[in-house]
């Protein structure tokens, strides 16, 4: 198993699987709905990805943006490609909020707003809330996919 997949809780954190990519809930919620988009080949260089992986990428981003907008009404969205500690090709997708957001019994802050996201700030959530987020976002992806395919 890829180091990066394991670190981000795969398979429990899996929200949506595409041909070449996986959308996972980021176990450490920097902000409400923080995700990780991981390319499945295990490559360490973005330039080494297959043409099929690159061609699939824009539709995945469109799906992610629509699902997160529908579910959380974010103000902005940040994509971070860091790959220093976790070497396989992946993006952190961080929804940004000008004000704290409540979800269930949890309040999610975005202390970095309006500057760069504060990756050192983690909104603590229970295992149960992570499960709820994975399940709810998975249902939103299915709903979006079925409405798009009509």
Residue-wise pLDDT tens digits, 67-97: 999 999 999 999 999 988 999 999 999 999 9
All structural domains of the chain: 3-144 (3.30.428.10)
Looking at residues 14-38, what average pLDDT do you find? 98
| Residue 127: φ, ψ to 5° | -60, -35
Distance CA 120, CA 76 (A): 19
Alpha carbon dihedral 112, 117, 119, 121, in 10-degree steps, equals 30
Looking at residues 45-60, what average pLDDT do you find? 97
- Distances from the Cα of 79 to the Cαs of 1, 94, 95, 142, 149, in angstroms? 24, 6, 9, 22, 26
* CB-based contacts of 98-107 (< 8 A; 24+ apart in sequence): 101/31, 101/32, 101/72, 103/32, 103/72, 103/129, 103/133, 104/129, 104/132
- pLDDT, the chain, mean: 95
Is the bond leading into 148 cis (omega within 30 degrees of zero)? no
Q: Which two tokens stand for residue 98?
A: 């000008």
pTM, 2 dp: 0.96
Is the bond leading into 95 cis (omega within 30 degrees of zero)? no
* pLDDT tens sequence across 29-40: 999 999 999 999
């Amino acid at each position: 198993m890829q180091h990066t997949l394991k670190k981000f809780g795969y398979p429990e954190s899996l929200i949506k699987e595409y041909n070449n990519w996986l959308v996972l809930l980021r176990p450490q919620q920097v902000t409400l709905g923080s995700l990780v988009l991981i390319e499945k080949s295990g490559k360490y260089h973005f330039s080494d990805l297959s043409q099929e992986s690159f061609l699939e990428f824009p539709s995945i981003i469109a799906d992610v943006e629509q699902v997160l907008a529908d579910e959380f009404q974010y103000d902005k969205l940040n994509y971070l490609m860091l790959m220093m500690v976790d070497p396989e090709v992946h993006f952190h997708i961080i929804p940004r909020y000008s004000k704290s957001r409540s979800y269930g019994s949890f309040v999610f802050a975005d202390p970095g707003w309006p500057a760069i996201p504060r990756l050192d700030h983690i909104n603590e959530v229970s295992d149960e809330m992570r499960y709820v987020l994975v399940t709810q976002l998975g249902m939103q992806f299915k709903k979006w996919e079925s409405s798009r395919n009509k």
